[in-house]
């Protein structure tokens, strides 16, 4: 285990600022998930996630943090005060934290956040009225091919 005291490079928070986090490594991967759960929890046609290794993630304010388990595959967190979705961690991949991308404070996290979407997943659940832009992102029904076998399908 590393004992280095690396300074944070990414900062994030919920809407009300009662739940905050920092990471000591740049974020990688940017995925838009169109699954039904993400759409309804986020009130949006998709939810955008970006990732960091869990050893580089820490909550800096978490007394209002609430864990929710809506499927047997992943644990999500929200701010118990303002209800902003914060993170999602697959039980099969506990060393990676999926950060809800909109929670990142970009003004304090310069050049540490991916700028291009890597993949659109669970496209079979996408609402017909939302048209995906031609952004070069991989398009996948269900989870990504390379995640199959790591994460069970059908979340
Ligand atoms: Zn909050
Ligand atoms: Zn989803």
User: What ranges do the domains of the chain cover?
Assistant: 10-141
Mean pLDDT (the chain) is 92
What is the Å distance from ligand 2's center to 137 Cα? 16
Q: What is the pLDDT of residue 147?
A: 73
pTM: 0.91
Dihedral through CA 136, CA 139, CA 143, CA 148, nearest 10? Answer: -80
pLDDT tens digits for 42-99? 999 999 999 999 999 999 999 999 999 998 889 999 999 999 999 999 999 999 999 9
142 or 117: which carries more pLDDT confidence? Answer: 117
Q: For residue 79, which of 133, 30, 18 has the smallest C-alpha distance? A: 18
CATH architecture of 10-141: Alpha-Beta Complex (3.90)
Report the separation in Å between the CA atom of 8 and the middle of ligand 1, taken as the mean of its atom positions.
21
Ligand nearest to the CA of 86: 1
């Amino acid at each position: 285990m590393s004992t280095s005291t690396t300074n944070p490079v990414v900062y994030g928070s919920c809407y009300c600022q009662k739940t905050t986090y920092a990471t000591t490594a740049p974020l990688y991967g940017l995925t838009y998930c169109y699954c039904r759960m993400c759409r309804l929890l986020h009130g949006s046609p998709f939810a955008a996630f970006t990732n960091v290794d869990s050893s580089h993630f820490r909550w800096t304010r978490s007394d209002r943090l609430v864990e929710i388990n809506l499927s047997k595959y992943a644990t999500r967190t929200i701010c118990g005060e303002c209800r902003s979705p914060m993170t999602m961690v697959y039980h099969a991949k506990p060393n990676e934290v999926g950060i809800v991308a909109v929670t990142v404070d970009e003004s304090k996290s310069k050049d540490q956040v991916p700028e291009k979407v890597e993949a659109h997943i669970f496209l079979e659940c996408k609402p017909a009225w939302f048209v995906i832009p031609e952004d070069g992102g991989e398009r996948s029904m269900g989870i990504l091919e390379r995640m199959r076998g790591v994460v069970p399908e059908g979340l």
